Amino acid sequence: MATQATEIAKGVPALAAERAVTWPKRTRARLANGLEVVLAEAHSIPKFHGELYFRAGNAQVSDRSTGLAEMTATLVRTGTAQRASRQIEEELRRLGADLGSSSGQDTSAIGFAGLSEFAEPLLQLVNELAREASFSEGELERERRQKLEEVKLERTSPGFLAGERLRKVLFGAHPYALVSPSEAQVTAYKREDLQGVYREIYAPENALLMLVGDFEPQAMLKLIEKTFGNWSGRQARPKEFPAPPKPRGRRVYLVHNPGSVQTQILAGCHAITRKHPDWIRLGLTNSLYGGAFNSRLIMNIREDKGYTYSPRSSVNALRHHGYFSVSAAVRNDVVAASLTEIFYEIDKLRSVPVPEAELSDAQNYLTGIFSLGLASQDGLLSQFSTVELNELPADYLETYRDKVRAITSAELMACARKYCDSANMQIVVVGDRVQIEDQAALFGDLEIYDAQGNKL
């Protein structure tokens, strides 16, 4: 906590009466082929934003290789039966559109945004990418080389190395442990593997098309039926994986990055998914701890002690598991001091009730920033996507603010005790071992790795 007495501001104007927060109405439909459609109007600019989601990603196909769904997504935009890569890119520019295709652990998606006046040709192109990607050998070989350089390069980023190690430690044999393929895996990707993944994942029965923007929903729905209506394909059965055991006891994992002039700290423990009834309570707990500028962690190790520029905590939800994490890039000589404060602030939340005034400030923060997304098309799209992809209740957005306001100090403490599991936090530090090993070893049994992932 701050060592200096906190002074109070004088003469602050009171908040005016709040205006009601109204989320735009969603139009829903399900085509005969199984494609789910969610549409919402937002007329801020003469454009629209969209995502075509598929409810499977790298985890689903991890038995074949790591990152296979991601490589499939990369190839999806590089050629179809009708168009070569260059024609696709020029068509996008002609329509004033942006497009990206990617795949995470649980979903694959083609995301796009473009001018409303060209909605029809843009949706046609998206439809073509989802159904007729050609996976040419030439494109695959280029993307393979690109990926090889990328996987070499990412091992020089402290943030990547920290995240990769924490996921391995928390998720063990579960596919969520694997965030990026090895060079050998990339070298071994085969065209048939990618085509297999494409058939398995890119099917209408497995898909959700979500559009937000400047259009009339009924007309847009007709256009969607015309464009995607004759697509067919069966959903592959979702794979189930045994739950990873929760690591017990604090351990420290040092990733040796010679020449580092700073240390990246990342500590985490298992928590919950977005569907869990405690999710909103954990969100408020996180916001108080290290999720907001005004949070305890930031006021302590940045504004009071000056150890770091960018400390933060977050709650990370994957579809089947979630985790709580704290990160800070700190000066090499204050690694131990920073970890001490990180745990001090967690333990305080677990043992001392949050004062009512601080609780109410945090509730105001969380309910307020929730509304900021209302003002832009991609902000709305992101909120609607969260609800749909996580199968949250239909009134989730409408009731969220009331739920945040109802949380009590006692519930917060219970939540911190359950999910901010300081005794079992796994600590990753990425830095130069010569400078930080002694400090790191003070916090638990120490394992040391090099940047390639080999144990030293």
Partner 1 sequence: MSSLHIPIHHNTLKNGLRVVLAADATAPVVTVGVYYMIGFRLEPQGRSGFAHLFEHMMFQGSENAPKMQHIKLINSSGGVLNGSTMYDVTNYYEAVPSNGLERVLWLEADRMRALKVDDENLRNQRDVVKEEVRVNVLNQPYGGFPWLDMPPVAFRNWANAHNFYGDFHDLDAANLADVQKFFKTYYVPNNAVLLMLGDVTPQDGFALAEKYFSPIPTSAAPSFADPSEPPQTEERRGHVEEKFGTLPAMAIAYVMPTRRTPDWYATALLDQALHGGRAGRVYRDLVLERQIAVEAEGGVDDIFGTNGPSQMTTRILHKPEYSHEATLAAFDTILREVQDNGITEDELQQIKVKWRSDYYSTLEGGRGGYMPRYGLMHLLACFTLFDNDPQLVNSILDGFLGVKREDIQRVAKKYLVPENRAIVFRAPVAGKKEAA
Binding part of the chain for partner 1, among 1-9, 185-193, 226-234, 341-349 by CB under 8 A, reads: 1-9
Pairing state of beta strands 207-213 and 36-41? parallel
Site for partner 1 (CB under 8 A): which residue of 222, 238, 293, 453? 293
Least separation in angstroms between CB 89 and partner 1 = 4
Cβ neighbour number for residue 172 with a 10 Å cutoff: 14
Strand (E) or helix (H) holding 82: none
Q: For residues 355 and 422, is the Cβ–Cβ distance under 8 A?
A: no
Residue closer to partner 1 (CB basis): 250 or 401: 401
Give the end-to-end CA distance of the chain in Å, rounded to a whole number.
Answer: 37
* Helix count and strand count (H, E) for the chain: 16, 12
Residue number with CB closer to partner 1 (16 or 184): 16
d(C-alpha 286, C-alpha 232), whole Å: 43
Nearer to partner 1, 423 or 434 (CB): 434
Strand boundaries in 182-310, DSSP class E: 207-213, 251-256, 263-270
Q: Is the CB of 225 or the CB of 358 nearer to partner 1?
A: 358
Stretch that binds partner 1, among 2-10, 26-34, 54-62, 218-226 (CB under 8 A): 2-10
- Contact partners, residue 385, CB within 8 Å, separation at least 6: 51, 53, 210
Distance CA 93, CA 137 (A): 25
For residue 246, what are the CA distances in angstroms to 105, 113, 253, 424? Answer: 19, 40, 16, 9
Nearest distance from C-beta of residue 60 to partner 1, angstroms: 27
Pick between residue 360 and residue 408 the one whose CB is nearest to partner 1. Answer: 360
CB-wise, 89 or 278, nearer to partner 1? 89
Smallest separation (angstroms) from partner 1 to the CB of 364: 5
The pattern of x and - marking residues 253 through 292 that bind partner 1 according to CB under 8 A reads: ------xxxx-----------------------------x
Q: How far is the CB of 272 from partner 1 (least distance, A)?
A: 24
- Kind of pairing, strands 322-330 and 36-41? unpaired
Q: How far, in whole angstroms, is CA 226 from its chain's centroid? A: 33
User: Within 204-263, which residues bind partner 1 (CB under 8 A)?
Assistant: 259-262
Output 158 or 247, the one with its CB closest to partner 1. Answer: 158
405 binds partner 1 (CB under 8 A): no
- Residue among 17 and 81 whose Cβ is closer to partner 1: 17
Q: Is 404 in the site for partner 1 (CB under 8 A)?
A: no
Element (H, E) at 198: helix 191-201
Site for partner 1 in 7-36 (CB under 8 A): 7-21
Residues 107-166 that bind partner 1 (CB under 8 A): 113-115, 142, 145-146, 149-150, 152-153, 156-158
CB of 149 to partner 1, least distance (A): 5
Residue with Cβ nearer partner 1 (86 or 199): 86
Buried-exposed string 194-221: b where 16+ CB fall within 10 A, e elsewhere: beebbebbbbbbbbbbbbbbbbebeebb
Chain positions 79 to 118 lying near partner 1, rule: CB under 8 A, are: 85-86, 89-90, 92-98, 113-115
Please name which of 391, 293, 304 lies closest in space to residue 53, comparing C-alpha atoms: 391
Residues 30-69 that bind partner 1 (CB under 8 A): 43-47
- By the rule CB under 8 A, 313 interacts with partner 1: no
Contact segment (CB under 8 A) with partner 1 among 64-72, 247-255, 299-307, 410-418 equals 299-307
Binding to partner 1 in span 314-373, by CB under 8 A: 329-331, 360-362, 364-365, 367-369, 371-373
Planar angle of CA 280, 283, 284, nearest 5 degrees: 95
